[in-house]
Each structure stands twice: as structure tokens, then as C-alpha cells.
Amino acid sequence: MALVPQLIGAARGASARALMQLPRPAIARLAGPPVVVNGRTLDPEMQLLLRLQRLEGPAAESVAISRGRRIIVSSSRLAGGNQPIGAITDRTIDGPGGPLGLRFYTPRGLTGRAPALVFFHGGGWIYGDLESHDATCRFLAEEAQVRVVAVDYRLAPEAPFPAAVDDVLAAWSWIVEHAPGLGIDPDRIAVGGDSAGGNLAAVVAQQTAGSASAPAFQLLIYPVTDFLNRAPSRTTYAEGFFLTKAFMDLAEENYLVGGEDRSDPRLSPLYGDVSGVAPAYVVTAGFDPLLDEGDSYAEKLRDAGVPVEHVREDGLIHGFVNMVAIGRTAPKAVRRAAAALQRGLS
């Protein structure tokens, strides 16, 4: 069955979610011939989403950052849908650069002190906020039955490195200090994030290792770990798989001002000391420019004797953690991550 342009055109917007509920054979036919790279086959749902994406408006990295931020939030809402949650509370604390926003998610039926995940969103340190990852945080909270605290750290270019690092460390310290009053078990707090947020989560775990405020667990979703070297996957998957070289270049150009030591562990956790950091679940995507550095970080943790569960979602692309309302494959992968989080905090 050939791809029908009219069908794909009509699938824009919310109807894309309905399209992705078609039987797998139908999705595979619409997606086109299988895409195989390095022995891995792109999941048909991801392949079809990429075809749909090419019919949409401009990519975030091709327009002004202010407009790109709106594009990121809009696309994330589409992919995430309206996920159920027990309760949401926003509050502001004092941060290193001014007010720092936090959003608290409580799953349905959860009462009393409970384990928690402090979550840092992705977006290349220039995009993303509490709205872009709202569905992801709701989904993780409900699936893992933990409280989730999302942190709205400062973004570049307005606040380049190390502003985001300073913010997440300050937020982490505040949450740990006030945990009992927030309904959080202070002995069962995980740190996590995706992409740039995974980078920041790894930094927090390293910077607090061995202290009374160290996390109990790490949830690292396709983390950025290396600003110094460019692993092969950065070239292999640089175009055509959602996260592009142009996006990564733009993020780096705005996050860094020049002259930074790229091996600084606050930038590149791959070069930091991981002895004694918290156990981790590291998940990478098979068709992601960040694949190799995420795999390398999981290997570094394992070599240092850190308990680590490393899962490579071979058929998926960067950004799958935001796709909790799209199809079947991405939500299943995020459920696996949530189950690992629940085990890690049990």
C-alpha cells in the first residue's frame, strides 16, 4: 500500500495520535521501506512520525529562539496529550539568579511521605520549561507512583553556562532540605532528566556524591555527557532523526560563551568522578546522535562499580520521552523507565 499524501496531510494535529493507533502492519506500510542503520531498524511508528514531521512547519532550530521555544512547547503538548495526574502545585523559591520555579506532581491515591523524582527537562539548555515536559512528568509520577518535582532552570542565551548548573544544584539542595514538609521521603529522592536535563541530573549526582544530600537513584534519559569529543553517532544520525546537527550546534553556541574547559565535569559528566554516585537507569535511543555518549556514560558507571541498568531502545529516536500519547512503542519505553525508577526507590 503506497503512502497516501492526503491521509498524511489530514493526520496533522491531534489526529496524528489516532493515526498512530492503526494496526502495526498498517503503520509499517504508511511509514515506507524499513530504515536500517548499523544493524538497527527504525521503529515504524518513529519512521511515520518523522514523515509527518516533515509536513509540519519550520523546525525550532531554524527560527528565532523565542519562536523555537513556542514550537517546542506546542509539539510536546501534541505528543504528550492530556495525561491524568492526582494533583499539581506550582511554587517559587529563591534561586542563584532570581526566582526559581518548581512544579510538584502527586499521583492519584498517593498520600503521606513518598519517594520522589527531581526532574530536569531537556531542550539543549535553550528550549524547554515546565510546560514542555508536563505530560512526561505526569506520566512518570503516575506510572512510578512517586512525587515528581520539575525544575524551571534558567536558559541560554539569556543565562549561559553555568547558570543552569547553579540553578539545579540550588533546587536540589532546597528540595532535599525541605523534603519532609513536601511529603517526600528524604532517603528516597531520585534525580533525573532527558538530554540536556540528563546532563544536569548526572552533574547533580556527581557534585553531591558522598554527601548527606546525595540522590538515592539516577534516571538518565539519552543524556548529553561529552562536550569535548564528538562520538560517531553524532555524525551517523545528524540528519533525519529529529535531533539534528543544526539543533545541537545552536544549543552549544548559546550555552557556551567561549573559553570553557570542555572537559569540566559540570559540562561533560563523562570526564567526572563517578565513584560513589547513585545507582542509575541509563536509557539511550538507537537512532539518536547522543547514542554513543550515553552508552559510554553507562559503561563508565559500570566500570566504577556503580549499579547501573543500561537499556538501549534500539528502534527509537531522540525525544521519545515526550511521546507518551503517541502510538505504543514510545509509551512502553517510558513505562520501562518508570518501572526502573520505582524499583530504584523501593
Catalytic residues: 195, 288, 318
Contacts with 92 (C-beta within 8 Å, 6 or more apart), sequence order: 99, 100, 101, 102
Q: Which three cell numbers stand for residue 248?
A: 545541537
DSSP state of 278: P
Q: What is the dihedral of CA 98, 151, 117, 128, to 10 degrees?
A: -160
Q: Which residue has the cell 553555568?
A: 162
Closest among 190, 80, 59, 204 to 131, alpha carbons compared: 80
Residue 32 backbone dihedrals phi, psi, to 5 degrees? 105, -175
Identify residue 49 by its one-letter amino acid code: L
CA 127 → CA 29, 72, 161, 223, 322, distances in Å? 34, 7, 14, 15, 14
- The phi-psi region of residue 66 (left if phi > 0; otherwise alpha if psi is between -120 and 50; otherwise beta) is alpha
Q: Which three cell numbers stand for residue 260?
A: 570553557
Rounded Cα–Cα distance for residues 310 and 293 (Å): 13
DSSP state of 247: H
Q: Provide the β-strand partners of residue 287.
A: 317
Task: List helix spans (H) across the chain.
Answer: 5-10, 15-19, 24-31, 44-53, 65-80, 134-144, 163-177, 196-208, 232-236, 245-255, 291-303, 329-344
Q: Which three cell numbers stand for residue 37?
A: 542503520
